[in-house]
Amino acid sequence: MMQPKNFVSGDSKSMVCKLKKSIYGLKQASRQWYHKFHQVITSYGFEPNIVDDCVYHKFSGSKYIFLVLYVADILLASNDIGLLHETKRFLTKNFEMKDLGKVSFVLGIKILRDRSHGIIRLSKENYIDKVLDRFDMKDSKPRDIPIVKGDKFSLK
């Protein structure tokens, strides 16, 4: 970074600038962004997950909302549409953001919903197909995995 154009100093090579806020592109900028986000979102009642600092939750009686942060992308999931909209309004008020609507694909994971049965399915089929193609294993036999097909996960 260079000194400001009209900065007057005889030995400007030994001078530095003290930043009042983070500049996009600096190596510490993403960390500063996370700290700011964390401060704002926890002031609204969200708590960070004990396993992953980028996953937050907020419970209000029988209502709950989960917030997942990946770089500058935010994923919201809630069992209450009012709580979801209220959280979106709060985020919009505090950050410059755009609502992209319902998610169907994120980080290579396909998200399939069956609202009538209360089911969310996550699929990495496209990624698996790419890996099989890359290593010429399209014709290999499928094997069992540690999770039994049809296992149901619940908050209860």
Residue span of the structural domain in which 135 resides: 102-140
The answer to whether residue 36 is domain-embedded is yes
Structurally, how many domains does the chain consist of?
2
- Same domain for 120 and 91: no
pLDDT in tens, 68-104: 999 888 999 999 999 999 999 999 999 998 999 888 9
CATH code of 69's domain = 3.30.310
Q: Are 39 and 48 in contact (CB under 8 A)?
A: no
Are residue 59 and residue 114 in the same domain, yes or no?
A: no
Residue from 114, 40, 115 nearest 74 by CA: 40
- Per residue in 117-137, pLDDT (tens digit) is 888 888 999 898 999 999 999
